[in-house]
Amino acid sequence: MAGLSLLDWALDGVLALLLLWLAWRALSTPALFRAVVLFIAFGLVLALVWARLFAVDVALAEMAIGAGVTGALLLAALVRLAPPIGRGRAHGRNGERDGA
Amino acid sequence: MMLRPRTDRQAGPASSARADKGLPPAARALLVLALLAVFAGLVLAVLSLSEPAPGLAAAVDERIDESGVSHPVTAVLLNFRGYDTLLELVVLVLAVMGAWSVGRARGCAGNVPGPLLRQLPRLMAPLMVLVAGYLLWVGAHAPGGAFQAGSLLGGVGILLCLSGYPLPGWANGPALRVSAVLGVAVFAALGVVAALLPGGAPLDWPPAQAKTLILTIELAAMLSIGVVLAALFAGGRP
């Protein structure tokens, strides 16, 4: 039993440190794309933390909304912020016409 | 109970990641000190929490039989604190109205994926819809529910958009708008009906019909959440 709890402590400690490190990296990195990817990784680790806290509902929501959908939204916003790619914008006009 | 505020709050730091670029070192050191102080305060607060956590868990357990479901989180979200969930659905609709009022969507037809991404949704999308349905159903007695299932549906929409499958024309008009507000409409309408029953109150489900009502609301809410999240990703009026 003591061994198990030691393992638990180690796992929780690694998760907590990883979470703090990812949060710090996501905030401090100057490259926006890298920051978004770190944020998604942060969300996935946070979902593991919620699961460890027996909050499976929150873990599911964090995984799907916090990491998945928010990450996709941030990446989409990033594409819109960066005109050098160019491809997206040109195709966007086509898309609008198709959608209308 | 705490699902949405927490995920909302996380969107902030990452999006303002560049806000502190160019601060002088002294200000930066001060900022780090202030953050460490907040961190220490939080650690102290956690350590001083009373051991049997004060909360409403006992009250929920006591009345869970009247809620129509056996999973306490779903019971709280859809029955005991239905107003919160209803207003969260309203917030989602408001968000999509805000996004739509800013401009037109870029559309998904222009995304030209590689062959792998082109084929991936053929495998993934049906599976994801199936899992969303499972999460919705299992939410009655285990972790799951409308928000998780709906965000999975939203993920299906995002995947389809990214891999260049646009919405068919018929789905882009009123059908899209109706399905975005369906969750709020069904929830509010059933809530009003519950108030009109003898001895009823708004959003107070009669225990005998509670499970059916909750599943109906969750089904509509799941659809709306999926549509809203995918629409937010598309990022503008269709």
Name the residue facing A27 among B13, B105, B147 (closest C-beta): B13
Cα separations in angstroms, B65 against A55, B84, B218: 22, 21, 19
Cα separations in angstroms, B142 against A3, B74, B80, B137, B229: 30, 9, 17, 9, 24
Residue B165 in any domain: the answer is yes
Residue B32 in any domain: the answer is no
Say if B160 is an interface residue toward chain A (CB within 8 Å): no
Residue A90 in any domain: the answer is no
Tokens 């519950």 found at: B194
Tens digit of pLDDT per residue, chain B (238 long)?
A: 334 444 444 444 444 444 546 778 899 899 999 999 999 999 999 888 887 777 888 888 888 888 889 998 889 888 898 999 999 999 999 999 999 998 888 777 777 788 888 888 999 999 999 999 999 999 988 888 899 999 999 999 999 988 888 888 788 888 999 999 999 999 999 999 999 988 888 888 888 888 999 999 999 999 999 999 999 988 888 8
Q: How many domains does chain A have?
A: 1
Residue B19 in any domain: the answer is no
Residue A2 is predicted with a pLDDT of: 54
Residue A43 in any domain: the answer is yes
Nearest to B236 by CA among B108, B95, B102, B93: B102
Domain, as residue range, for B146: 60-234
Say if A32 is an interface residue toward chain B (CB within 8 Å): yes
Structure tokens at B173: 């008009």
Whether B131 contacts B152, CB under 8 Å: yes
Cα separations in angstroms, B120 against A52, A68, B124, B227: 31, 17, 6, 21
Contacts of A68 in chain B (CB under 8 A): 151, 155
ipTM: 0.72
Say if A34 is an interface residue toward chain B (CB within 8 Å): no
Helix (H, G, I), strand (E, B) or coil at A90: helix
Residue A88 in any domain: the answer is no
Residue A99 in any domain: the answer is no
A63-78 mean pLDDT:
89
How confident is the model over A37-49, as pLDDT tens digits? 999 999 999 999 9
Q: At CB < 8 A and 24+ separation, what contacts does B4-12 make? A: B4/A61, B4/A65, B4/B88, B4/B91, B4/B147, B6/A58, B6/A62, B6/A66, B7/A61, B7/A62, B7/A65, B7/A66, B7/A70, B10/A39, B10/A42, B10/A43, B10/A46, B10/A66, B10/A70, B11/A70, B11/A74
Contacts of A80 in chain B (CB under 8 A): 106, 235
Residue A41 in any domain: the answer is yes
Residue B13 is predicted with a pLDDT of: 46
At position A52, the amino acid (one-letter code) is R
Residue A24 in any domain: the answer is yes
Residue A95 is predicted with a pLDDT of: 39
Domain, as residue range, for A58: 2-83
Nearest to A93 by CA among B171, B107, B16, B40: B107
pLDDT interval class at A97 (50, 70, 90): very low
Closest chain B CA to residue A78: B15
pLDDT interval class at A87 (50, 70, 90): very low
Whether B228 contacts B95, CB under 8 Å: yes
Residue B106 in any domain: the answer is yes
Structure tokens at B230: 């995918």
What pTM did the predictor assign? 0.78
Please indicate whether, in this complex, the C-beta atoms of A88 and B14 are within 8 angstroms of each other: no
Residue A66 confidence (pLDDT) above 90:
no
What's the longest Cα–Cα distance across chain A?
65
pLDDT interval class at A21 (50, 70, 90): very high
Residue B25 in any domain: the answer is no
Residue B7 is predicted with a pLDDT of: 42
For residues B44 and B228, give the distance between their C-alpha atoms in angstroms, rounded to a whole number. 40
The β-bridge partners of B104 are: B237
Q: How many domains does chain B have?
A: 1
Please indicate whether, in this complex, the C-beta atoms of A26 and B14 are within 8 angstroms of each other: yes
Residue B147 in any domain: the answer is yes
Residue B8 in any domain: the answer is no
Residue B38 in any domain: the answer is no
Q: With helix as H, strand as E and coil as C, how does B77-133 read?
A: HHHHCHHHHHHHHHHHHHHHHHHHHHCECCCCCCCCCCHHHHHHHHHHHHHHHHHHH
Structure tokens at A70: 């928010």
Structure tokens at B221: 């809410």
